[in-house]
């Protein structure tokens, strides 16, 4: 999982791999989203404004990281291989209860 997060983040400095993997805030159970695993987490006491999700194939390939922070523009970013994607979600990152766009 660490390698998948590092690959998705690349040199992007908006957040750290440690935040995604070891954040102290709430998280949903890992769920299936199509053919990939989805893991969602958020900042303690600030989930609506600051959350993230990782989509990855079962073998660790094709990692995509969603990062939602209301203090930034754009508010929600998708990082794929360290590069920002054009994919946008106004409501934040998908959790195990919602499917990614």
pLDDT value at residue 45: 93
Overall fold of domain 2-84:
Inhibitor of vertebrate lysozyme, Ivy (3.40.1420)
Could you list the pLDDT tens digit for every one of the 101 residues in the chain?
Answer: 778 888 888 877 666 777 777 777 898 888 898 899 998 999 999 988 989 999 999 888 888 889 888 888 778 888 887 788 877 666 778 886 644 44
CA dist 88 and 101 (Å) reads: 8
First-to-final CA distance of the chain: 22
Task: Please confirm whether the linkage preceding 5 is cis (ω < 30° from 0).
Answer: no
Phi–psi pair at 55, nearest 5 degrees:
-110, 130
Q: What is the full DSSP assignment across 41-87?
A: EE-TT-TTTEEEEEEEETTS-S-EEEEEETTSSSSEEEEETTEE-S-
pLDDT recorded at residue 97: 64
Q: What are phi and psi of 8, to 5 degrees?
A: -65, -40
pLDDT value for 100: 45
Q: How far is the C-alpha of 100 from the C-alpha of 71, rounded, in Å? A: 22
Q: What's residue 38's pLDDT?
A: 92
What is the predicted pLDDT for the residue at 3?
A: 82
């Amino acid at each position: 999982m660490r390698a998948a997060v590092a690959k998705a983040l690349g040199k992007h400095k908006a957040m750290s791999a440690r935040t995604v993997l070891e954040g102290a805030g709430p998280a949903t159970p890992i769920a299936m989203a199509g053919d990939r695993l989805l893991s969602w987490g958020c900042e303690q006491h600030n989930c609506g404004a600051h959350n993230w999700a990782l989509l990855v194939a079962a073998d660790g390939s094709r990692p995509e990281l969603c990062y939602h922070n209301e203090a930034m523009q754009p508010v929600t970013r998708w990082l794929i291989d360290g590069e920002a994607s054009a994919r946008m979600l106004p409501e934040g990152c998908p959790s195990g209860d919602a499917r990614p766009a």
